[in-house]
Amino acid sequence: MNQTLESLVPSASASASLETLAPQARLTFQDAFARFEQTVQKFSIEDSHRFQSTSLEDVRSAAKEIERQLAARQCLRNMRRIQPFLDGLERYSKVIEVLCNGTPYLPWIWAPIKLMLQYQLATDFTAAFEKLISAYGQIAENLPRFDRLSHTFNNNPDFQRILAIVYADILDFHHWWKCFFNSSWRRFDARFKCILESLAKHTDMVDREANSLAITEAKEWRQRAIQEAAKRGMEQSAVQVQSVISWLGDSAAKQDQQDDLLDRLLSSCYPETSEWISGNSKVKMWLKNQPTQSLLWLKGKPGSGKSLICQLKEKLADVT
């Protein structure tokens, strides 16, 4: 009895490893494991001990060996039908192995399959075996795509809760097929339907959560892109302003150079040839006492006469 009670209580190392789990998820893992371990120990303490050391590869090897023995009896059962379920368990186990590191939980999701296969070989209970193989296939179809989402959601409490519920559903199924050999088909079918519905529901929840995250991330990416574009625009504007200030200069030497250049341009400009610029609407707005823009930038192709519009500066000098 002491051995059973001790096995139901996680060790210190197990408890430490579960610190990364959200409290609700941790309790779900612990309760599911404790219930199933207690059920197994009612039938066989030896099975409980064997479960702890059973690897997923042991289950695959057992399936191949049993298929070989069934072939020798000329009663093949196509053991490959449980392969999708084993593959699904492998993907699922890779997600929870870090969260459950140091606990006895992980092997219990696949070890009962090996026991079921060996039981079938010993009893030749064909109808039950076919029922269970079909059930494992249906469970595989309803296992969520945890492996695709674990890197994103592993620290999410809701995702951890779903991981724990799926663990509980799988162990619950193992519990019921073990009881099934000593009860009736009807009870097994009713419970199995409930387990499948639970898995399907949580698969849908995982998918919807992933889609919600994808939409949120897309919105956040767009917002970041807009902010980055605005930041780059401001930086480019700052560089341009600095370049203009540097080009214009404010030293006396540069001012003298600009004055000399202006005198040369004015002397080469025919009277009234550049007055058309004063009629430009943008120039008129700029020449007002309180213009909306303090700067006016003249641009045009080389040789288009921008320099000859220097008469405008004389008008500005008269205005000021």
Residue 231 has pLDDT above 80, yes or no: yes
pLDDT band with cut points at 50, 70 and 90 for residue 37:
very high
52 & 127 share domain: yes
pLDDT given for residue 33 in this prediction = 94
User: Which of 205, 220, 235 is a domain's end point?
Assistant: 220
Name the pTM for this structure: 0.58
11 & 111 share domain: yes
Report if residue 227 sits inside a domain: no
Nearest of 216, 241, 232, 233 to residue 297 by alpha carbon: 241
147 & 191 share domain: yes
316 in helix, strand or coil? helix
44 & 102 share domain: yes
How do residues 241-255 score in pLDDT, each as one tens digit? 777 777 666 555 666
User: Which of 178, 202, 220 is a domain's end point?
Assistant: 220
How does DSSP classify residue 251? S
Mean pLDDT of 272-294: 71
Report if residue 290 sits inside a domain: yes
Distances from the Cα of 236 to the Cα of 228, 232, 242, 243, 248, angstroms: 12, 6, 10, 10, 18
Residue 234 has pLDDT above 80, yes or no: yes
CA distance 309 to 312: 6
| Burial per residue of 223-239, b for 16 or more beta-carbon CB atoms within 10 angstroms, e otherwise | eeeeeeeeeeeeeeeee
210 & 273 share domain: no
Report if residue 211 sits inside a domain: yes
62: tokens are 């057992």
Residue 17 has pLDDT above 80, yes or no: no
111 & 207 share domain: yes
Report if residue 232 sits inside a domain: no
Q: Give the best-scoring range by mean pLDDT among 60-64, 179-183, 214-218.
A: 60-64
Number of domains in the chain: 2
Domain region containing 74: 2-220
Report if residue 52 sits inside a domain: yes
User: Which of 167, 198, 220 is a domain's end point?
Assistant: 220
Distances from the Cα of 302 to the Cα of 112, 213, 299, 307, 311, angstroms: 85, 54, 9, 10, 18
155 & 53 share domain: yes
